[in-house]
Structure 1
Amino acid sequence: MKKRLAIVGGGWAGVAAALRGLEAGAEVHLFEMAGQLGGRARSLSVSQADEPRLDNGQHIMIGAYTHSLALMRSLGLKPEDLLLRRPLQLRYPDRAGLHLPPGAALPAFVRAVLALRHWRWRDRLALLAASSLWALRGFRCAPDISVAQLCAGLPPPVMQELIAPLCVAALNTPAEAASASVFLRVLHDALFSGPGSADLLLPRRPLSELLAEPAQRQLLAAGATLHLNHTVRQLDRKGQGWSVDGEHFDAVLLACSSRSAADLARAHAPAWAERCAALQFQPIITVYLRSPGSRLAAPMLALGEGPEAPAQFVFDLGQLGHAPELFAFVVSGAAPWVERGLPATAEACIAQASDQLHWASPPTLLRALAEKRATFACTPGLQRPASSIAERLAAAGDYIAGPYPATLEGAVRSGEEALALLRPVLTA
């Protein structure tokens, strides 16, 4: 008889765990509080046929996200068709930024830094010296220092045009408050994990088509039971297994938000729940603008951020195969702007767009969205909860302890690793 597995949460971690659970021969039941899978990486519903399908935020991947890409391929998807692959380039509207050429990682990085002609020689050499020191130390540092402290000796252009945007893009936490050890791990895996590991993978299709919707079809076809619009309220110990809202399971995997996981696990693992509940979060705001007849110089551009210029990046969605003449401005580490409100943020983005970019027609607001708990705040010395909670009870999610910040890859890896913890139970 198949062992019964309950997975609470249908984001990328829960989906990855569910697919691996089926491979282990389990009877999989997936509980999701929303009406669709995908979690915080999903597409929004549309009310009219001609309305563009927007995402709840602009996600990107990199070539080093091997588990995510493999999971997509296991669903019969072709990442090369769904994702626009480009060498890492931080291009600004008025100047070229860092652009990694093809080839071996170390020589490519050196050539890319030396090619930054608008930097002084001392700026370029300072970055090369610092990165060489990080490499000699194995891209490791004390766990309690920030990115700003790690880079304290670097010149302002290096911090403003490279370190700060890379940090907020990868960790969704400003350099002054971001963990240097996690930042170095991301740099290592992106820049020095082999050819193409730093490539940017920009979605050509709505986010839900990259994983959630194909996964839902495969889960249903394989006999999994999906409980959509179902918020799990009660988790109880029952014999050797667990009871989820009164229904017995041999094992349970919590792939829901950290807050929900803490509430469900508190009676069974109070120390784990306390660590979970202690996590702080950073928001992301996405502002969608229209501009008929306009096209950016590249599908993705870095922007100059400032007190009245909130966005760090802009995406030309028309160039990515989405709705034409539609542009997504992304505000990471957006806590100050959440306090100011979405109308003020949208107005500031329009002003920033008008000031920093060239338009065929004045940009106008289509929609502004805030994901207030987009990622955990990846701060120095942060102790994240472990995947193992109790016997036959595990957790998955981008906030679970691991080498990566809150990324799609971190979520997928966490889901697969949590399922591996439960596999002996499911295959016994």
Structure 2
Amino acid sequence: MGSPRRIAVVGGGWAGLAAAVEATSRGHAVTLIEMAPQLGGRARSLAAEAGHARLDNGQHILIGAYVATLALMRRVGVDPDTVLLRMPLTLVDASGQGLRLGRGPVLLAFTRAVWAMGHWRWRERLALSNAALGWLLKGFRCDDRWTVALLTQSLPERVRREFIDPLCVAALNTPARDASAAVFLRVLRDALFAGPGSSDLLVPRRPLAELLPEPAAAWLKANGADLRLGRRAQSLSHRPDGRAGWSLDDEPFDQVVLACSASEAARLTATIAPDWSQRAAAFGYEPIITAYIQADGARLAAPMVALPEGPMAPAQFAFDHGALGAQPGRFAYVISGAATWVERGLDTTAAAALAQARASLRDVAPEQVRLIKLVAEKRATFLCLPGLQRPPTHIAPALTAAGDHIDGPYPATLEGAVRSGLAAVVG
């Protein structure tokens, strides 16, 4: 650890919170600047509305392999076992049919789970087992130019439709026809083969704000950090006194961490580091839409179920909040890779999601199923395309970047954001 320094963290999402906690832990004087009125970025809780429990800006899940995220939660006083429901990887449909990963050695457990899918033909089960073994033997690597569709084109159509496609859009928020196969395989490697519990699903029991943003804010304040919400960083330049460091809105800092969105970081660095700025500005984005449904007395076959997607069935997954230990009768229908539905309009999307919920929640009358709120995060994640060149952590001396868009092994995930935030604090 070097001498204490003044460090500014621009952005209060999960990457910015990770950077701020890490810098504060190292004894630095931290100022965190966030343009929104609340912390959390694209994994935040919305303001509570009259008559309803607090909702999130979208349904998020973690997995057991998110070791950095879980460690950060513990560091600020959150017990992951209390706020998250841990369950083995389960990818089942509304009737309860599908893959259920058991305990034990992962390769053996995965093989058993595949062969236990009795509703598949034996050729379909054999094809997926052989494909997984082939990816393992190749070290989960492939040509960087390949898409997931190209990687899996030899698999039976049912395997792609019921396993590959929903898993790809859940992990990368990019349809298989466009998604990077190399990143998809890295996710599979770390989720399925990184050790016991790595593939477990960790589904929030509590609002996202209680998982990290609010506890981290309390921890930072208790440890002397300066949190400035509702303020947008306007300018970044070299210090006029010629000393090392940066001037952020005419305030001097020894180091600046840009943990804001890629577009904001590109704006702030346009004249300082034009090449880095251009790369950060070049991302394409994919939206995610979440339809919150209330249906008192209804249940799903599992806390999370996969849904058949279709022209008027937009959601790929549904979550039963009652089964998660949250509010009974509340459900989240998640539409990943939602660009086409944004184009069709949110009213059309809301009507389609409600119809889909009424069709899948068959143990209550249709009129008992109602839409509470439709939440559209239009820049939820970057498009995870083959060969995508993401900007690096280092921008210039004492100037670094953090966020799920920064170069790393993962797609746009909470774990990628947290790891980048930790890595952005230098010294």
SS where residue 424 of structure 2 aligns? helix
Quote the residue 1:30 is aligned against: 32
Partner of 1:127: 128
SS at match of 1:328: strand
| CA distance in 2 between partners of 1:298 and 1:117 (Å) | 18
Contact 1:293 1:361 in 2 (8 A): no
Provide the residue aligned with 1:284 in structure 2.
Answer: 288
Query: What letter is aligned with 2:400?
Result: A
The answer on whether the counterparts of 1:311 and 1:349 sit within 8 Å (CA) in structure 2 is: yes
Tell me if the contact between 2:147 and 2:176 (Cα under 8 Å) persists in the aligned partners.
yes
- 5+ residue gaps, structure 2, are none
Shift of 1:357: 3.2
Contact 1:291 1:359 in 2 (8 A): no
Q: Is the 8 A contact 1:397 1:415 kept in 2?
A: yes
Map of 1:379 onto structure 2? 385
The residue number in structure 1 matching 2:22 is 20
In the alignment, what sits opposite 1:426? none
In 1: Cα distance, 2:253 partner to 2:385 partner:
36
Secondary structure of 1:30's counterpart equals strand
Q: Paired residue for 2:300, among 287, 296, 301?
A: 296
Return the match for 1:6 from 8, 12, 34.
Answer: 8
Letter in structure 1 aligned against 2:17: V
Supply the distance in 2 between the matched residues of 1:401 and 1:128 (Cα, whole angstroms).
31
Deviations for 1:114-150, whole angstroms, at most 9, x for unmatched residues? 1111111111111111111111110011111100000
2:152 corresponding residue in structure 1: 151
CA distance in 2, matches of 1:47, 1:108: 44
Q: Secondary structure at the match of 2:381?
A: strand
What's the CA shift for 1:290? 1.1
Structure 2 SS opposite 1:368: strand
Contact 2:85 2:324 in 1 (8 A): yes
CA drift of 1:235 comes to: 0.3
Kept after mapping to 1: 8 A contact 2:298/2:361: no
Contact persistence 2:96–2:302 (CA under 8 A)? no
Task: For structure 1, list consecutive stretches of 5 or more residues without a partner in the other structure.
Answer: 424-428
Q: How far apart are 1:46 and its partner, in Å? A: 1.5
* Distance in 1 separating the partners of 2:365 and 2:302: 18
1:53 positional shift? 0.4
Distance 1:182 1:86 in 2: 24
Question: TM-score scaled to structure 1, two decimals?
Answer: 0.97
Decide which moves more: 352-361 or 409-418.
352-361
SS at match of 1:98: strand
Q: Which residues in structure 2 correspond to 1:382-401 (within 5 Å)?
A: 382-401=388-407
**Aligned partner letter, 1:14:** G
**Separation in structure 2 between the aligned mates of residue 44 and residue 164 of structure 1, nearest angstrom:** 30
- Is the Cα–Cα contact under 8 Å of residues 96 and 301 in structure 2 kept in the other structure? no
The one-letter code of the counterpart of 2:279 is R
Give 1:109 shift. 0.8
- Residues 58-85 of structure 1: CA distance to partner in whole angstroms, max 9, x if unpaired? 0000000000001111112111111000
Distance 2:325 2:207 in 1: 10
Moved over 4 A (4+): none
Whole-angstrom distance in 2 between the partners of 1:227 and 1:236: 20
User: In the alignment, what sits opposite 1:417?
Assistant: 423
Higher mean alpha-carbon deviation, 191-200 vs 86-95, is at 86-95
Q: What amino acid does structure 2 have at the position aligned with 1:38?
A: G
Q: Find the counterpart in structure 2 of residue 169 from structure 1.
A: 170
* C-alpha contact 1:7 1:255 (8 A) present in aligned 2: yes
Measure the CA separation in 2 of the matches of 1:322 and 1:234: 43
Q: 1:138 corresponds to which residue?
A: 139
Tell me the equivalent position of 1:263.
267
Percent of aligned pairs with the same residue?
58
Displacement of 1:361 in angstroms is 3.3
Q: Secondary structure at the match of 2:131?
A: helix
Q: Distance in 2 between matches of 1:297 and 1:366?
A: 22
